[in-house]
Structure 1
Amino acid sequence: MEPIEEVSNDEEVPYTFIIKTGSNVPIKEATKKWDDGTMILTINPGSSSTASQDLRVAENFNDKTEGAVTVDFWLPRRIGVPKLLKVDLESDKFELFDKDPLYVREITIIYDRNPYRFPIKNFIYPHHPIHNPTEPREGCVPHFLIREGAGTLKHHETEDYVIKAREEDLKNTKSMVNWKESKDVVGDLLYPGLVDITEYDKLPRFLQFKEANYDMILDFTEKGRDEVKSNVFDNLRAKLFGTYEENRFASFEEFELYLRHKSTEMGWQKESISEAMKVAKIFHKDEEFGRQMLCGPNAQQIKKVTSLDGRWAGCAVPEYAIEGKALQDVMEEGKLFQVTTDELDGIPHGGSFSKKLTGTKQTWYTVLADCLLYLRNDEKLVPVLIRLENRNDGKPATWWTPPEPGMADFDHPKYLAWLYAKMWFRSADMNCYALCSHFAKCHAVSEAIAVAAYRNLPNAHPIFRILQPHILGIIPVNVNARAVLLSPKKNFFTLFLSAGGATIEIFNNFFKKFSYDDLVVPLDVEKRGVQDIPEYLYRDDMGSHWEIIHQYLKELVHLSYPSDDDVIEDEELQNFFKDVFDNGFRRFENGAGFPRSVSTREKLVEYLTAVVVNISVFHTAVNFQTFTYVPFQPNMPCCMSQPPPDQDTIITMELILDSLPLLEITFYAMNASNLLGTFSPIERFYLGDEGKNKLGMLGENMAVSPEQEACIRRMGERMRELKDKIDARNRGRYIKYDVLSPINTPITTQA
């Protein structure tokens, strides 16, 4: 037998590069190609023994739509396994000409018949042939330094060139994403840390999505803007000629007809309108009021009552409202619950910009409102007491209870008084929902975590690759939002919310009570004492998502962290936790309960689950139901323009209608809720749906090893089972609760 001839390390072998470029965003210029220069690839750059020469790829890459270019090179066998890949772009245009960045999704190298995947998901800007920058420019890193596969922990790396590349990558990203002290924005009031960029166009390019959703935003807002301008012009002209009359609705039916008319005129989705119209038919019923406390957009506020002291001291609930029982007994049975609006404490009346829309200066009354709810023997939750307090005007609290069962006269003052009290409560709840549950808890909290992630976790880190698809949207949408939330002259909430002019003060009230435990769904449910409320579908679906995502993240964490010691030794990860605590929640007592360090895989999994669930699932629950409950304004009034009633006020239908928003304000609330509740064209969901052109999570992930993708597929299987369960539960329901079906749950925050 002849000896096997030794193979020289200088012998050349094939390396195949599959270069995937272009955004997956549907836009009009679908055929545009990127042809501004040459891509330069280097395998294992910085290695003294396995680095390749620079490989030049002069192709027309897909730019605005997904595509792939495949090229082959003969390279020395000594290069071996590609562990690190450098990606650079060189322009063939003069420096005076504008150049476009290129979005690179992923590059796969086939070596020795094995694929080595390098996830990128980032933009790169072409440099001049002579001047190759070493620092970020035009919102892009100077080049990519990408680790192959699943991502690695720094203390597991053994080769200096890989460690140095990891440090350079993080340094470049960190220089582009900096903290802004929240006190620079809100003064001495509480608010999480935020990115130190105030203009969307100045964000790093990988955080800009204008090309993705710009056309959609224009389509949805242009008609609304024209409508508002037309209203203002017509009102001013009418006032000039002395013919102006306020556009008030004469009945609930007129609200309903206006909703139907405007939905057709504006082209809003009929499926969404249908659900809003269903709400209009039954909003006045106590059972529907209770259902919305459990399944509406602010369903996380309800708590079990364990004491009748404090706000409830001296209150009286008629026995007929609680099935002949004493209130103390009901509480001891665990059947008494409350929803409060303490975030409105100290918030002044609104309406300062009302004239912009209506032509009439109005006062929109900000009133503290609290509600007691009783779980009946038939397992229906119903309101039994509402407390209103116009603290701004020094008025005493008033108490309102339901009429006796069986009252058929809907024009009776007792019935109207109860309906009116519920509207006042719903208006207060609407303001707390929009500003606290939605923006403060979803947007502001998640941004602080996203900034810390970009500043401390390099692309090579497995936790960054897990988090990146989830944190991707939150910083840019917040930068845009702050321009119209925290600016007194541009705050669009002042145009329809009674408390909209005091957003910063409301955020402060919310954050005084906020803690990390609020993001941990099982702890939150336990703390609120709502484990046993029947038909609490928000709780059930949030809990199901928590379990599925927790299991998914546990599997991924255990792939990258063989032991708890690896969590402790992961300096980059510990810096992330520290940054969230020290800068994300700097002025909060004890960092709002966020751990400053984590020492076990179990606690790491909980932390990651809390982050992912809050930014995706919780945001879905509070954001994507707005168009079901807000457009019919008697159900969830954004403002009330008459003073709240005194205890002896005789309530009439005329008073109720005079208190509800004018036509112009109603339209603004409708249009805003439609825009907020509409999916962006770049959304990805936990489950894809080809029939509805919804993209699934798998294509967006940066965790690309076969083992990691197997975890994602197993999560998808569990999500499919949850979807089937939710579908089955909804059959026959008058109003479905499917907002948290995995095909409706985006993986990140885009609105």
Structure 2
Amino acid sequence: MTVNHEEAASSEETCYTFIIQTGANIPSKDRTAKWNDGSMMLTINPGSEHESELIRVEEHFPTDTEGAVTVDFWLPANIGVPKLLKVDLESNMIEIIKDALYVRQITIVYDRQPYRFPIKNYIYPHNPMAGNPTTAEMGCPPHFLVREGAGTLKHLETEKFILDAREEDLDTLQSMVSWFKPGKNKTGLHPHPGFCGELHYSKLPRFLKFREATMKAFEGLRKPVREEVRGNILGNLMEKVIQTYHEKHFDSFENYEKYIRETSKNMGWSKEIVLESLKVAKVFRNDEEFGRQMLCSPNGLQISKVESLDERWAKGSVPAYAMEGKTVQGAIEEGRLFEINNDDLIGVGHGGKRSKELTGTKETWYVVLADCLLYQTDDGKVLPVQIRLENRNDGKPASFWSPPEPYKTDMDHQDHLSWLLAKMWFRCADSNVQVFCKHFARAHAINEVMAVAVYRNLPNAHPVFRLLQPHIQGIIPINVQARNVLINPGKNIVSSYLSGGDHFMKVLSNYYSRFTYQNLILPEEIKRRGVGEIPGYLFRDDILSYWEILGNYTRRMVDISYPSDKDVAMDTELHNVLKEVVEVGFRGFKDGAGFPTQISTKEKLVEYLTAIIVNVSVYHTAVNFQTFTNYAFVPNSPTYMTSPPPEQDQRVTMETILQGLPVEETTFITLAVCYVLGTYSPIERLYLGSTSENKLGMLGENMAVAPEQEECICLLVEEMRGLKGRIDRRNKGKFIKYDVIRPDNTPITTQI
């Protein structure tokens, strides 16, 4: 008897085991509910010659906490290796009570081999009577079409059913994520980066609303702040009516410290965070501390080596005693003179439009151009040696201020007070530039361009999407909310405590006019600034360590998916991202802000991807998560000043200083905003997790699930452990530690 092996094989059945992992990435401590709104329907290799039958799974799936359901099915053996999986939900329940299900991953075990399909997305159950949907519904894709394993490049796929699924997935994404169309709502910024077309958080696709836990925590922190501010406003208005209002100025630096302690206690803020700001209060008057903050503050990428002084310094004169007896030219020739300028404030008018509402009195919040020269001493300290102030809005000439002569040791001496006030004015300008330019413009708006372009042009199956998705998933939702709350031109929070808040669009425009892609390539940026050798520049040291570690990680991941440079050049989906970044994201910028429209080598691709990951995670952490430390004690870094800057040789007293500093109501707003924005999300994923501190690590959030990719992630984690150890050893015994971007403090995505 002759056996037809092909017929026998086609009639045989084999076991396919499905491990279905669900549960929102927002863990709940209070509930362990199950999704039982309907059925999950699975199809292996849909659209292929050996497409499986529709597999219906009737189990109840975990929703509030992560969990898994395992089911077995006998299916025809000729289905073969599961390469593509279609996932759908079906429900007969009425719309008002059914909900979407968050699916993390589905693993199929076939022939004793696991095939992993990463999803990390929500799906909404459709009504079976309405047929199989093809368009997004309730902020969710109609179904998932997921490629197995490490992800693939389009030009290396050969099977039509996989290519068709890839195109369908991309069409769905582009229907859900769009660019804002200029003309629909003018921003007043020219140029400005493109951003997401959906203007309200509630209307975003469900997969971009994963921040619900963050939102709840944010609102929990914001509510008492809002109530306190409202109480202050109402109280001030009432006092104004009965003519008993008086400005609540502080009468000493010590009372600012006391206010921080009392406010933080009343608001229930973390004592550990508050302690760091109180440490700054103890040493803020010292020039050495000023220099440390210029190198390790939230605005740590401002300083540049001086090759020659430009016209702005022509009328100034740095005393020789401030530079160990050297002349300016001598300090320049030795490479010891550095500069920080705040030109992003050019053309920005004074603020204070909201001061009457907040304080009961209309105040002018002065915007003054401020520049600083710093000198590196023989023992490696970096000290300020001259500050230039120019109240250009009021047509005043520039004034120049230098530290007192060494023999004047009384800190309350007139010369010390003048120097202290000049430093405050410089820090006021610096804080405005930091908030608007280095935090929002660079660490938020520019990153959103990358996120929108990636979501619109890379399907789930693309390895670069799987690499970047954990890092870019937070930036769009937080920016959408920021445009509604924090920087809404109509009534923004920043105008309630920053002198430049009334004209922040102009500040951003100034920054964008000079921004280029090369600014994101940190090793080159630091080299261009000439600051590679400054001792004690811990921001530089740590962020370059990240650049190396994340660059090596990215290189290993790229090597897995791109066999050669030729494959990079042939990746049309990748080049659609590059093209959209330039033509839409940076439309109006000179030469597309220098972003490449073509990448043809793996090395350049690694550089591009490393720049995105470092900027959206590490750089954002550096400029965001130590603002309370630096700004809470207001005299250290005032966010506005209510008296004009002193004119040259004007007598300065302690009363002069205190009368120009922010009053109690706006000091509260500064503290509150810095605390809220600097608080970690309850679902934060960090480069290093910690079981003892309940910190979630990077591995659980990744869509790169192939064994070789997970090996890369594990190696990355080990290198991060090494970096943490180096930072811990360096910080041992330090009065003020610089550990803001230690790997267990650094989120992998932007959530605040």
Normalising by structure 1, we get a TM-score of: 0.98
CA drift of 1:485 comes to: 4.0
For the pair 1:610 / 2:611, whether they are aligned, the reply is: yes
CA drift of 1:182 comes to: 5.3
Which residue number in structure 2 is paired with residue 447 of structure 1?
Answer: 448
Q: How does 1:462-611 map to 2 (within 5 A)?
A: 462-611=463-612
Take 2:317 and 2:67, find their aligned partners in 1: how far apart are those partners?
A: 68
Q: How does 1:139-288 map to 2 (within 5 A)?
A: 139-181=139-181, 184-187=185-188, 189-288=190-289
Take 2:114 and 2:182, find their aligned partners in 1: how far apart are those partners?
A: 45
* SS of residue matched to 2:727: helix
CA drift of 1:314 comes to: 3.5
CA drift of 1:27 comes to: 3.2
Take 1:452 and 1:212, find their aligned partners in 2: how far apart are those partners?
A: 26
CA drift of 1:29 comes to: 4.3
For the pair 1:705 / 2:697, whether they are aligned, the reply is: no
Which residue number in structure 2 is paired with residue 55 of structure 1?
Answer: 55
Q: Deviations over 1:597-635 (max 9, x none)?
A: 100000000000000000000001100111111110000
Take 2:476 and 2:294, find their aligned partners in 1: how far apart are those partners?
A: 30
Residue pair 2:482, 2:488 contacting (<8 A) in 1 also: no
CA drift of 1:28 comes to: 5.0
CA drift of 1:692 comes to: 1.5
Which residue number in structure 1 is paired with residue 105 of structure 2?
Answer: 106
* SS of residue matched to 1:301: coil
Take 2:542 and 2:103, find their aligned partners in 1: how far apart are those partners?
A: 36
Q: Deviations over 1:153-191 (max 9, x none)?
A: 001101000000000000000111111145643245111
Q: 2:728 corresponds to which letter in structure 1?
A: D
Residue pair 2:211, 2:474 contacting (<8 A) in 1 also: no
Residue pair 2:369, 2:390 contacting (<8 A) in 1 also: yes
Q: 1:141 corresponds to which letter in structure 2?
A: P
CA drift of 1:210 comes to: 4.7
Which residue number in structure 2 is paired with residue 638 of structure 1?
Answer: 639
Which residue number in structure 2 is paired with residue 348 of structure 1?
Answer: 349
* SS of residue matched to 2:599: coil
Take 2:82 and 2:655, find their aligned partners in 1: how far apart are those partners?
A: 76
* SS of residue matched to 1:120: strand
Q: How does 1:240-389 map to 2 (within 5 A)?
A: 240-389=241-390
CA drift of 1:226 comes to: 1.4
Which residue number in structure 1 is paired with residue 33 of structure 2?
Answer: 32
CA drift of 1:94 comes to: 3.1
Which residue number in structure 2 is paired with residue 647 of structure 1?
Answer: 648
Which residue number in structure 2 is paired with residue 66 of structure 1?
Answer: 66
Take 1:238 and 1:75, find their aligned partners in 2: how far apart are those partners?
A: 79
Residue pair 1:189, 1:505 contacting (<8 A) in 2 also: no
Residue pair 2:211, 2:477 contacting (<8 A) in 1 also: no
Task: After superposing the two structures, state which structure 1 stretch, 576-585 or 217-226, moved more.
Answer: 217-226
CA drift of 1:504 comes to: 1.3
Residue pair 1:485, 1:503 contacting (<8 A) in 2 also: no
Residue pair 1:182, 1:191 contacting (<8 A) in 2 also: no
CA drift of 1:3 comes to: 11
The 1:664–1:530 alpha-carbon spacing in structure 2 relative to 1, beyond 3 Å, is same
Q: Deviations over 1:665-707 (max 9, x none)?
A: 0010001000111111121011101122111100001010000
Residue pair 2:341, 2:371 contacting (<8 A) in 1 also: yes
Q: Deviations over 1:33-92 (max 9, x none)?
A: 2111110000000012x2101111112111121111111100000011100000000012
Take 1:235 and 1:490, find their aligned partners in 2: how far apart are those partners?
A: 20
Take 1:693 and 1:232, find their aligned partners in 2: how far apart are those partners?
A: 39
Take 1:655 and 1:196, find their aligned partners in 2: how far apart are those partners?
A: 48
Which residue number in structure 1 is paired with residue 718 of structure 2?
Answer: 717
For the pair 1:75 / 2:78, whether they are aligned, the reply is: no
Q: 1:107 corresponds to which letter in structure 2?
A: I
CA drift of 1:378 comes to: 1.1
Q: Deviations over 1:383-438 (max 9, x none)?
A: 00000000001110010010011422222111100000000000000000000000
For the pair 1:736 / 2:737, whether they are aligned, the reply is: yes
Q: 1:262 corresponds to which letter in structure 2?
A: T
Which residue number in structure 1 is paired with residue 123 of structure 2?
Answer: 124
* SS of residue matched to 2:633: coil
For the pair 1:688 / 2:704, whether they are aligned, the reply is: no
Take 2:347 and 2:400, find their aligned partners in 1: how far apart are those partners?
A: 20
Residue pair 1:483, 1:490 contacting (<8 A) in 2 also: no
Which residue number in structure 2 is paired with residue 134 of structure 1?
Answer: 134
Residue pair 1:26, 1:681 contacting (<8 A) in 2 also: no
* SS of residue matched to 1:325: coil
* SS of residue matched to 1:703: coil
Q: 2:9 corresponds to which letter in structure 1?
A: S
Residue pair 2:188, 2:505 contacting (<8 A) in 1 also: no
Q: Deviations over 1:312-365 (max 9, x none)?
A: 223200110011111111011100001111010000000000122211111100
Which residue number in structure 2 is paired with residue 21 of structure 1?
Answer: 22
Take 2:375 and 2:252, find their aligned partners in 1: how far apart are those partners?
A: 30
Residue pair 2:189, 2:506 contacting (<8 A) in 1 also: no
Q: Deviations over 1:203-228 (max 9, x none)?
A: 11100135222321122111111111
CA RMSD, Structure 1 to Structure 2 (Å): 1.4
Q: 2:99 corresponds to which letter in structure 1?
A: D
Residue pair 1:27, 1:212 contacting (<8 A) in 2 also: no
Take 1:561 and 1:549, find their aligned partners in 2: how far apart are those partners?
A: 18
Q: 2:653 corresponds to which letter in structure 1?
A: T
Take 1:488 and 1:154, find their aligned partners in 2: how far apart are those partners?
A: 43
* SS of residue matched to 2:577: helix
Take 1:204 and 1:219, find their aligned partners in 2: how far apart are those partners?
A: 24
Which residue number in structure 1 is paired with residue 620 of structure 2?
Answer: 619
CA drift of 1:479 comes to: 0.2
* SS of residue matched to 2:129: coil
Instruction: Specify every segment of 5 or more residues in structure 2 that has no aligned partner in the other structure, as ranges.
Output: none
* SS of residue matched to 1:540: helix
Which residue number in structure 2 is paired with residue 84 of structure 1?
Answer: 84
* SS of residue matched to 1:122: strand
CA drift of 1:311 comes to: 1.6
CA drift of 1:648 comes to: 2.9
CA drift of 1:308 comes to: 1.3
Which residue number in structure 2 is paired with residue 426 of structure 1?
Answer: 427
Take 2:577 and 2:25, find their aligned partners in 1: how far apart are those partners?
A: 30
* SS of residue matched to 2:485: helix
Take 2:362 and 2:29, find their aligned partners in 1: how far apart are those partners?
A: 43
Which residue number in structure 2 is paired with residue 43 of structure 1?
Answer: 44
Q: 1:178 corresponds to which letter in structure 2?
A: S
Residue pair 1:182, 1:194 contacting (<8 A) in 2 also: no
Residue pair 2:189, 2:509 contacting (<8 A) in 1 also: no
Q: Deviations over 1:273-327 (max 9, x none)?
A: 1111100000000000000001111011011111112222232001100111111
Take 1:62 and 1:74, find their aligned partners in 2: how far apart are those partners?
A: 25
* SS of residue matched to 1:139: coil
CA drift of 1:5 comes to: 8.2
* SS of residue matched to 1:115: strand
The list of structure 1 runs, each at least 4 consecutive aligned residues, that deviate by more than 6 angstroms after superposition, is: 2-6
What is the aligned length? 748
* SS of residue matched to 1:42: strand
